[in-house]
Structure 1
Amino acid sequence: MKVALLLGIATLSLGAASPAPQKVDLLIRGGTIYTGSAEPFVGDVAITGDRIVAVRRHADVDAARVIDASGMIVAPGFIDPHTHMGGDLASDDAQKRLVPAFLMQGVTTAFIGNDGGGSPDVAHVLGSAASRPVGINYAAYVGFGAVREKVVGEADRAPSGAELAQMKTLVASAMCEGALGLSTGLFYAPQSFAKTDEVVALAREAGKRGGVYDSHIRDESSYTVGLAAAIDEAIAIGRQGGLPAHISHIKALGVDVQGQAPAIIAKIEAARRAGQNVTADQYPWSASGTSLVASLMPLWAQDGGRPALLGRFDDPALAAKLRAGITENLRKRGGADKLLIVEGKYANRTLADVAKELGQDPVTAAISVIRIGDPGVVSFNQSEADIAKFMRQPWVMTSSDASGGHPRVYGSFARKYDKYTRIDRVITLRQFIERSSALTADTFGLAGRGHLQRGAFADVVVFDPASYAARATYEQPTLLAQGVRTVVVNGVVALDHGALTGKAAGRALAHMPTAGTCR
C-alpha cells in the first residue's frame, strides 16, 4: 500500500512538470525599465516578431538572442511630433532614409508635414515607404500652406468661395488618405495672409475625420498680433474646428516677449480646464531655426513670393519703409550678432560678421545675402527661464523641429536628457521618457506605440544613463549623439552596440479617419 502511494505521488509529480519556456526572438534582459506609464523596475522585455510579448521582472523564455541591458535604461522608442525630415524619408539615398541622426538618439517615430508644408497627396507620402524602406516610423500632416498655395498661390488675398471649397476638398481627401491632421505655419507667408475663419474652415474638415490641428502659431514674438493673441487664435481654431489643438515648438521668441511663459501657460491651462484638448511640443534649445527672409523681411514685402520681394529691393519708393521693417525685426531678434547663417556662401558667420566683411550696415548686408538666396539661420532668441517653465508642463512633449544647419536635428532628445534632466534637473527621468514617448503616442492616437507592454509594437531604446548626451553644437551641428546602445524598430534591431545595423524596419503610420466620414 505504501509503495503504491509513493508511485502515485511520483506520477502526480511527473504530470505537474513545468511547461517548456516560451520561445521568443529577442530578450532585453536586466535593464531598468520605464514602461511609459509605471514606476521603473529592473526586468526583462521579450519580443517576438514585431510585438512585445512580455514585460516583467523575470521573463522565463527561450530567446534566440539576449541583449544584456544591465545598468542601462530601457524605454519606449522616442516619438518626435515635429520634424522636417520628409525629404530624407523619401530620398533615393538608402542611408538617408535610415535617418541615423534620429536612431542614434533612440527616436523610432517622427511626424512630417509640419508648419503647413505637408503635401496634400498623403497617399503618395505614406506609400513611399513600400518601395523605399525607411529606418523609422512616420506619420504625415496635410499642410495648410501647401493646400493654399495649390489653390490661391502666394498672393495676399482671401480665397473665393469656390477656392475655399476646393481647399476643403483637398484637406478632406488627405485625411481620408491617412493624414494625421492639418498643420499650419501661420507665421510664414503666404499662410500669414489667411484670416482665422479660413483656417477654421479647413481645420473643421480635419476635425470631422478625427484629425488634430497642429500649428506653428501666427506670432511667437511681436511681429504681428503678438504671442498671446496667437496662442488665443490657435486655441480658438481648435475649439471652433472641433478638434484637438497642438502648439508647435512652444516658445517666447525675442526680446519683447521673453518672460511671458507663465502667462501663456495660464491661457492653455484655462482652456484645458474648460474641457478643451490643448497640448504643445518643445525643442530644448535657446536658439530657433528658420530662414533669413522669415526672420527679417516684413510680411508685406513677401506678398507674391520671392520674385516680388526682389523687385521691392530695387524700388526707391519702398526703400525707407523696407529698411525700417528690417531694422525693427532685427531688433526683435536681438541684433545682427544673434543671427548665425548656416547655409550658402556665408555659412557659419553671423549677420554682423557678414556686414563687417562686406563693409555694409546689417540691414544692407541682409538684403545683399537674400539677393543670392534665402539661407537658413540659427536665431538666439529665448531665455532659459522660459524654456524651463514650458518644459515642466505635463502637456508639453519633446520634439526637435529638425531642419538643416541646426544641432536640434542630431541632438534634441539627447540634449533634453543630458542638460535638462541629468544636469539641471528641470524634469525627472521618468518625465523625460514619458513626455518623449507615451504622451506623444497617446495624444495623437498612435495605437500600440509609446508604451512597453504586452501586445505593443516593439519600438525600444536602450541607453546608458551615464553617457547619453548630444554632441552636436551650433558650430558643429551634425555630430551624432552618444550613449544609445540598442534601438529596436518594429522588432528589428536597428542600432546594435551603438552602431547602425543598416536594417530599415520603419513603417508609414496612416491615421484612421472617423468611421463613415470617407467615401
Structure 2
Amino acid sequence: MVRVLIAAIIVVAASADGAAGKDYDIAINNGRVIDPETGLDDIRHVGVKDGAIATISKRPLAGAQTIDAQGLVVAPGFIDRNTYVLGPELFRLRAADGVTTTFNFEEGANDVPAAYDALKDQALINFGFSSSWAGARLATLSKTPPAMNKGIAELGDIGPDEMAAIAKSSVTDEQLAAIIAIVEQGLKDGAPAVGMGVEYMPGATMTEVLEVFKLAAKYNRSVQIHLRDWDRTSDYAYIYEPIAGALLSGAAIHISHLNSSAANYVERNLDQLDIARQAGVAVTTECYPYTAGMNDIRAEMWADWREWPEERFHNYQWSQTGERLTKDNFAEYREKGGLVIIHWMKEEWIDACVAHPETQIASDGGWDPNGGHPRDAGTNTSVLGRFVREKGLLSLPAAIRKMSYLPATSLEAAAPQMARKGRLQKGMDADIVIFNAGTVSDRATYAEPQLAPEGIDYVIVNGVVIKTPDGFVDGAAPGEPIRLPPAE
C-alpha cells in the first residue's frame, strides 16, 4: 500500500511538471536558467505555453517542441532601447545578437500610427517608437514639411543651410506650442516615449526641453535624450539638464550612450547619476561596448569642420568604403550625406561605463545596406564575450541584468507590456535567448559590420522559436508592437 501511494505521488508530481505528456508548446530542458530579478542561477527546465512561461521546473519537461539546453544558458531575451531603421533587416541583426525587443526611441516617429502600421504582422521581434521631438521641430521650423518614410521624418528638400539654421534656432512661444502639439499627438497615438536628440538641435533652450519633459510626465511616458555637447562655459550642464529636468517635471529620463556623450567625464557623470538616483530622481542611462561611434556626416555637431586641423579628419572613416577621411573628401561626403564612423573613444571610458552596475546595454545601431558599424550586429555578444568572459569586468548574471531586466524596469511605468519582459519567471512573456557562454562572441568588424555573432543558439519571441542553430525560421513573425492604446 505504501509503495502504491509513493508511486501515485511520483506520477502526480511528474504530471504537474508535464513530464507525463506533452503539456507545453516548448520544453527547454537542462539549461543554466538565469533570472535577474529573483537571482535564480541554476539548472532548471522551462515550459512555454500560449506565448508565456508556464513553469520553471526542477524536473525535465515534455513539449510539442523540445530543446536540450545542456551546457547552455537560458536567459530572458535582451532589450535594446536605442536602434534605428526598424524593419526586417534590422530585426534579423538584433535577433542574431539575442535581442527580442527593440525600440527606435532617440530618433522616433513623426507619424506614430504610420510607423507602427508599416511593421504590422511582419516583425520578427517586438518593437516600438517614440514620438519625435526633432521631427516636430523640423515640421514646425522648415520652409517645406520634412519628407516622411514609414512615419519617420527625413530631410527631403531641407538643404544643409536650412538644416543648420533650424538646428541653431530658438523658438517663439507660438512655435513651441506647435512643437508640443505634434509631440503630444504621438503620445496620444500610443508612443511609450519622447525622443530628443538635443545635441543635434543646440538652439533649443533649456526651457523648451523642460516643457517637453513636462509633456512626457503628463502622459507618464519616458524621455530618451541624446545629451548636449560639452561646453567650456556651461561645464557639466549637459548632464545637469536631464537630472534637473527629471526632478522638476517628474518624467523618467533615459540618457543615450553615455560612453560617447560623456567621454573623458564618464566616471564623474556616472557618480552624478548615482547621487541623483539615490535622491529619488528617475534618470537612467546606457552604453555600447565599442570605442568608435557613428553618425550622419551632415550632423550639426560638426558644423565647424572647416576649422579642424588636418590630423583630426583621419579619425573619421567613411562607412561605405572604409576609407579614412581628409578635409577634401570630408567636404565631398558632407555634401552628399551618409554615415561616418568616428574613432575617438578610449577603452577605459567604455570599460567604466559597461562595468557600472546600473548602466543598460544598447546598440545605438541601425541598418544601412551600404555599410554600418559592428554594434549593429554584435553589441550584446560583444559584452558577453569580451567584457564577461575575456576581461572579467562583469559576471554573467550582471551582464544579463543589464541587457534585459534594467531596460524592462526603466520602461514598465511608461509601457506596461514591459512588466512581463526582462524576466525568466512563470507568467512572464516567453521572450528567451539560449546561448553558449563559453563561445558566445561578436564577429562584426568595421570592415564587415554585419557579420552574425557566434554562440546564440536559440531565440524565442512570444513563445515562438525564431532562430535555431541552423538559422532563422522561415516565415516567423511573432514580434508585437510595444504601444499604449490610443487616447482621444
TM-score range, shorter chain: 0.7 to 0.9
- 2 CA distance for matches of 1:247 and 1:271? 13
Note if contact 1:28-1:66 (Cα within 8 Å) is conserved in structure 2: yes
Matches within 5 A, 1:415-434: 415-434=382-401
Q: What residue number does 1:3 align with?
A: none
- Secondary structure in structure 2 of the residue aligned to 1:259: helix
AA in 1 matched with 2:50:
G
Note if contact 1:129-1:507 (Cα within 8 Å) is conserved in structure 2: no
- Secondary structure in structure 1 of the residue aligned to 2:202: helix
Q: What residue number does 1:102 align with?
A: 94
| 1:382 counterpart = 2:382 | no
| C-alpha spacing 1:197/1:388, structure 2 compared with 1 (3 Å) | same
Note if contact 1:252-1:260 (Cα within 8 Å) is conserved in structure 2: no
Alpha-carbon deviation of 1:250?
0.6
| 1:466 counterpart = 2:438 | yes
Note if contact 1:489-1:505 (Cα within 8 Å) is conserved in structure 2: yes
TM-score (norm 2): 0.86
RMSD: 2.4
| C-alpha spacing 1:11/1:401, structure 2 compared with 1 (3 Å) | closer
- Secondary structure in structure 1 of the residue aligned to 2:110: coil
Note if contact 2:260-2:293 (Cα within 8 Å) is conserved in structure 1: no
| 1:134 counterpart = 2:123 | yes
Alpha-carbon deviation of 1:349?
0.2
Q: What residue number does 2:483 align with?
A: 510
- Secondary structure in structure 2 of the residue aligned to 1:262: helix
**Candidates 243, 265, 271, aligned match of 2:251:** 243
- The CA deviation string for residues 99-143 of structure 1, in whole angstroms up to 9 with x for no partner, is 2211111111001141xx31232122223333x511010121111
| 1:161 counterpart = 2:153 | no
User: Number of matched residues?
Assistant: 447
Q: What residue number does 2:216 align with?
A: 206
Unaligned runs of 5+ in 2: 143-162, 413-417
- The CA deviation string for residues 295-329 of structure 1, in whole angstroms up to 9 with x for no partner, is 87327xxxxxxxxxxxxxxxxxxxxxx732x44xx
- 1 CA distance for matches of 2:318 and 2:10? 70
Alpha-carbon deviation of 1:475?
1.5
AA in 1 matched with 2:35:
T
Q: What residue number does 2:379 align with?
A: 412
- Secondary structure in structure 2 of the residue aligned to 1:422: helix
| C-alpha spacing 1:201/1:64, structure 2 compared with 1 (3 Å) | same
- Secondary structure in structure 2 of the residue aligned to 1:234: helix
- Secondary structure in structure 2 of the residue aligned to 1:129: coil
Alpha-carbon deviation of 1:50?
0.5
Alpha-carbon deviation of 1:15?
8.2
- Secondary structure in structure 1 of the residue aligned to 2:480: coil
**Candidates 225, 237, 259, aligned match of 2:264:** 259
Note if contact 2:266-2:352 (Cα within 8 Å) is conserved in structure 1: yes
AA in 1 matched with 2:98:
G
- The CA deviation string for residues 44-68 of structure 1, in whole angstroms up to 9 with x for no partner, is 1100121100113225x43112100
Sequence identity percentage = 25
Note if contact 1:397-1:439 (Cα within 8 Å) is conserved in structure 2: yes
Alpha-carbon deviation of 1:438?
0.8
Note if contact 2:198-2:228 (Cα within 8 Å) is conserved in structure 1: yes
| 1:452 counterpart = 2:444 | no
Alpha-carbon deviation of 1:18?
3.8
AA in 1 matched with 2:67:
I
Alpha-carbon deviation of 1:388?
1.4
- The CA deviation string for residues 76-103 of structure 1, in whole angstroms up to 9 with x for no partner, is 00000111132xx2xxxxx537x22111
- 2 CA distance for matches of 1:435 and 1:481? 19
**Candidates 242, 260, 263, aligned match of 1:234:** 242
Note if contact 1:289-1:376 (Cα within 8 Å) is conserved in structure 2: yes
- The CA deviation string for residues 458-497 of structure 1, in whole angstroms up to 9 with x for no partner, is 0000001121111101121111111111110100000012
* Bigger Cα Rg: 1
- 2 CA distance for matches of 1:52 and 1:485? 19
Q: What residue number does 2:148 align with?
A: none
**Candidates 137, 141, 153, aligned match of 1:148:** 137
- 1 CA distance for matches of 2:300 and 2:233? 13
Alpha-carbon deviation of 1:225?
5.0
| C-alpha spacing 1:365/1:10, structure 2 compared with 1 (3 Å) | closer
TM-score (norm 1): 0.81
- Secondary structure in structure 1 of the residue aligned to 2:349: helix
- 1 CA distance for matches of 2:115 and 2:212? 20
Matches within 5 A, 1:468-507: 468-502=440-474, 503-507=476-480
Note if contact 2:199-2:301 (Cα within 8 Å) is conserved in structure 1: no
